[in-house]
Chain A
Amino acid sequence: MPPLAQRNLFHDKVRLSVTLTGIVFSVVLIIVQLGLFLGFTTATSNLIDHSNADLWLTSQNVPYVEQGVAFSERKLYQVRAVPGVADAQKIITRFAQWKRHDGSQESIQVVGINVDDELERPWNLVEGRVEDLKSPDAVILDELYKQKLGVSHVGEVFEIGHYRARVVGFTRGIRSFTTSPYVFTSFKNAQDFTNLREDQTMFILVKLVPGADLQQVRGDILAHVKDVDVLTTAQFSRMTTFYWMFTTGAGVAVLIAAVLGLVVGFVVVAQTIYATTMDHIREYGTLKAMGAPNSYVYRVIMKQAAISAVIGYTLGMVVSILVVHGSEKGGAAILMPPSMAGGMFFLTLAMCVGAALVSINKVTRIDPAMVFKG
């Protein structure tokens, strides 16, 4: 086919620019919003997803990890006695107050772990070692929150809930979904920082013997240990994510913005392709008069839509990559896995082709007799 579609598209550079701007806007907005959504969902369940546990034991009716309720640590020994359990450890996650050197306070989430165990540990350390948490008063936090907490280097001493806290290391990329950064410390320190009694814990992490039946062990723990819920890691992760993303409405807001981006892109592309079609309506009438079937005319229009989609997607991805890269050091991560980038191509194509249907409808109704009107 002679390059009618391409020539018509590139003939009016101003209109093409408008079309591409609309597509780029749409692509970037959708990527950013979906990327934020993904970043948020990752941040909400970070702690749970990075644990090496198979099961989480909580007080009854705990809806998400920030809403833990303290219970007796004696339940740890009951859990360890259940067949199929290879390891079980206590863990605390609880809010506390961090006192900066200037006297102001910031809310933090203290994460108290057994430093000798691997069921839950800080990850992506860029300074210090996890073993340094064995030192008295030792804490590790993420470099993202240095400014917020008034920290500049390892070794600085602060106060958490009237207790001394000494920074021994930094991680990279451990974001908290709430405004309260995670501060990792030993279990004992965490009890002090969060005013828990010595015989209390918030959660118990459980690792199964290889080959053990997950549901069987879960059922056995429930039968042996009273007044608790036992959730798989995936289950607790989902519950926590669902609460923050949908019960609070945060996730719905970003999804709505993503849909808005799609609608805007659709409208802009539909309008500009329609305008281009109307500019060339006589040519389409001539094509039909010459004997072209409707499908031939449709192909010309669809080709314009597809070319616009490819160019717009490419430009949009360049901008999106820059935005994603720029968000890495920010408070909210924008994630763009390859599957999202690939899926976005097909969404862009579908958006442009769908928008072209408005024009398709118009050319279907062309009366070829119009070509005889001077």
Chain B
Amino acid sequence: MQPAIKVRDLTKKYDEGASGNLALRGIDLDVHSGELLLLMGPSGSGKTTLLSIMGCILTATSGSVRIAGTEVVGLNEKQLPALRLENIGFVFQGFNLFPTLTAAENVELMLDLKGISGSEAKRRAQELLDQVGLSEKYASFPADMSGGQKQRIAIARALAGDPQIILADEPTAALDSHTGKNVMEIMSRLARERGRAVVIVTHDSRVTGFADRIMRIEDGAIAPNEETTAVPPALPAPSLVRPELGLV
């Protein structure tokens, strides 16, 4: 079975020319469905650049990136948004919620982009919020919620498009350890129980226990000693998620 994300000899250079900054150098990487991969490394190592290119937000200078079997290097600016919408969900460090929309409306916005609106969108949004444990928060605004709750809205929004791939940039950075753990449990379930490929960029060493694989990036290249962790033991059902609803 082909990987959800396949990267070969990926190079990214900022400011083209001899004096340009080489952010990524010859990256090879596969991410499979059902896998949770952590990308770790010091600041400026190229983790977020790699994530951005896998997310079809930045373009590569050279190399190959296949997302769900489609080669994205060489696609133009008009083709990339459609690919993102179809295949990728994003979770951001700063949550990036729309502050003037309620929790449900934030999720409905993603559904609207997929062409789902009206009562069907409301129903699905509420389902997704139920699944991340925010049943009582449909009509609440992000300003009235904790960091953990905001991140769970962001996850629900990322899932609204039913993507194969979830890309998360420092999802626990703004959260305390307990809340961060809850968020990671959700991300882990997304990978293992629903077969999504989940890639998380993080500095947070507290979350390594959730990963199937950890890759270290240093100076734009994968560090030679990649670590692979065994699948952790089954997690107890946390109070914040509802596995009986089937999605997370």
Contacts and interface: CB of A to CB of B under 8 A. Distances in A.
A374 interface: yes
Interface residues of A, number: 23
B105 A372 contact: no
A291 B113 CA distance: 8
Contact of A372 (B51, B98, B109): B51
A112 B98 CA distance: 74
Given A4-B98, A290-B157, A291-B85, 13 more contacts: A3-B101, A4-B100, A7-B98, A11-B99, A283-B96, A287-B109, A289-B57, A289-B84, A291-B86, A292-B113, A372-B51, A372-B93, A374-B170
B210 interface: no
A292 B81 CA distance: 6
Nearest to B98: A283
18 contacts: A1-B109, A2-B112, A7-B98, A7-B101, A8-B100, A11-B99, A282-B96, A287-B113, A289-B96, A290-B84, A290-B110, A291-B84, A291-B86, A293-B81, A293-B82, A368-B57, A372-B57, A372-B169
Contact of A11 (B94, B100, B170): B100
B94 A290 contact: no
Contacts of B106: 2
A163 interface: no
B35 interface: no
B58 interface: yes
Interface residues of B, number: 36
Interface in B80-117: 81-86, 88, 90, 92-94, 96, 98-101, 105-106, 108-110, 112-113, 117
A258 to B, nearest CB: 36
Interface of A: 1-4, 7-8, 11, 282-283, 286-293, 296, 368-369, 371-372, 374
B109 A4 contact: yes
B100 A7 contact: yes
Contact of B90 (A282, A289, A293, A296): A289
Given A291-B82, A369-B52, A1 B170 contact: no
A291 B161 CA distance: 10
Contacts of A282: 96
A8 B109 CA distance: 14
B52 to A, nearest CB: 5
Contact of A2 (B58, B101, B161): B101
B82 to A, nearest CB: 7
Given A2-B108, A2-B112, A289 B98 contact: no
